Structure 1
């Protein structure tokens, strides 16, 4: 799964179809009419409160798509510069690499699309972390 271009409406529609959720249930849960719901499927982005409701209804963390994008595509200097501690908002000390991100990175390395050095530079993944992932792949294949 690529995280570079996120079209949240398409992801939501796909999850609705997978779970076979009726339009009536969706409309009732979101407090929207059918036309509004259909328009959401066409939108590239949605307001956070609506996305939170979709996440609850479909039992899927759609925000993680954006977190994954930040982990993979945010420039390292911007990440480090903006990590000032605040008592008013939660501070996350560490990036969380989801299984999907690990698989995405491993696929790029194993296919020869990127080298380990490329991955370390492009995505700012620590060398030791990448080596742990590669060892796990070797252990499962060997």
Structure 2
């Protein structure tokens, strides 16, 4: 399960390897030493300011991994969604913004028989019409 357990250091290391970024460039950009960089690669979590800098350096939105986790694994709200007050001081984001990876993950679960369409709709609060659209697009590809 790609988003269930997030080891951010491992994802950062894989992206560094893909882009073949040199240690010198990472140290200069992050203003850290090699020992610190190596420690990040083995870290399960890191500070958000540091993650933002890694995202810029590696041109990859690492925060999306966490957003995907929330979409797939957060429990349904016990309070009626229409009664949830929206903060005026912090930005409000709709939960149902689905990345291509999430769409593929859900379609794969249906096609493998792991979940039915009804179970997906109930578990992930995906509108029925949205799920059907994904499945139709997948069938044409």
- Alpha-carbon distance change, 83 to 30 in structure 1, aligned in 2, over 3 angstroms: farther
Give the Å deviation of 1:88: 1.2
Q: Which aligned runs of 4 or more in structure 1 are off by greater than 6 angstroms?
A: none
What is the match of residue 111 of structure 2?
A: 110
Give the Å deviation of 1:95: 2.1
Calculate the TM-score normalised by the size of structure 2. Answer: 0.92
Give the Å deviation of 1:139: 2.2
What is the match of residue 41 of structure 1?
A: 41
Q: For structure 2, which runs of at least 5 residues remain unmatched after alignment?
A: none
Give the Å deviation of 1:93: 3.4
What are the within-5 Å matches in structure 2 for residues 25-40 of structure 1? 25-40=25-40
What is the match of residue 72 of structure 1?
A: 72
What are the within-5 Å matches in structure 2 for residues 92-111 of structure 1? 92-111=93-112
Root-mean-square deviation (CA), in Å?
Answer: 1.8
Q: State how far apart, in whole Å, the 2-side matches of 1:39 and 1:30 are.
A: 13
Q: For structure 1, which runs of at least 5 residues remain unmatched after alignment?
A: none
Indicate conservation of the 8 Å contact 2:71/2:95, yes or no.
no
What is the match of residue 18 of structure 2?
A: 18
Q: State how far apart, in whole Å, the 2-side matches of 1:84 and 1:50 are.
A: 31
Q: State how far apart, in whole Å, the 2-side matches of 1:18 and 1:120 are.
A: 35
Q: State how far apart, in whole Å, the 1-side matches of 2:72 and 2:49 are.
A: 25
Greater relative contact order (CA < 8 Å, ≥ 6 in sequence): 1
What is the match of residue 7 of structure 1?
A: 7
Q: State how far apart, in whole Å, the 1-side matches of 2:10 and 2:2 are.
A: 13
Bigger CA drift: 66-75 or 130-139? 130-139
* Secondary structure class of the residue paired with 1:106: helix
- Alpha-carbon distance change, 17 to 45 in structure 1, aligned in 2, over 3 angstroms: same
What is the match of residue 126 of structure 1?
A: 127
